[in-house]
């Protein structure tokens, strides 16, 4: 279930700010318990893909910006 939701988010099918189905709907759709649906959404929250707060419907998070490269360019010298 978490993999399906992750795929929908990363593919752009679910856009930033769009609400996820309710936990009850997710549980019914995937044939799992409500606590399993909650754990799947929690994994997506930890991954930064979903925003969720108690009592508020979970939404797709804004796309993370590309990280800046922290690797400094180096020069390679050849002994001749």
pLDDT, tens digit (0-9, with 9 covering 90-100), for 23-59: 999 999 999 999 999 999 999 999 999 999 888 899 9
> Sorting pLDDT into bands at 50, 70 and 90, what band is 71?
very low
Residue pair 35/24 in contact by the 8 Å Cβ criterion: no
For the chain, give the number of residues.
Answer: 80
Would you state the pLDDT for residue 64? 56
In a domain, 67, yes or no: no
pTM of the model: 0.73
Range of the domain at 35: 2-60
d(CA 56, CA 16): 16
Output the six-digit token pair for 31: 């044939």
Q: What are the backbone dihedrals phi and psi of residue 30, each rounded to the nearest 5 degrees, phi first? A: -100, 0
> How many distinct structural domains can be found in the chain?
1
In a domain, 69, yes or no: no
Q: How far is CA 40 from CA 2, 3, 27, 64, 65, in A?
A: 5, 9, 10, 20, 24
Q: What is the CATH number of the domain that holds 26?
A: 1.10.10.10
The whole-chain average pLDDT of the chain stands at 83
């Amino acid at each position: 279930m978490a993999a399906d939701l992750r795929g929908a988010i990363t593919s752009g099918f679910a856009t930033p700010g769009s609400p996820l189905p309710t936990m009850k709907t997710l549980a019914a759709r995937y044939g799992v318990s409500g606590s399993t649906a909650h754990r799947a959404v929690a994994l997506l929250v930890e991954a930064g893909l979903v925003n969720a707060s108690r009592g508020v419907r979970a939404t797709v998070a804004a796309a993370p910006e590309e990280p800046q490269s922290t690797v400094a360019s180096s020069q390679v010298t050849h002994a001749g």
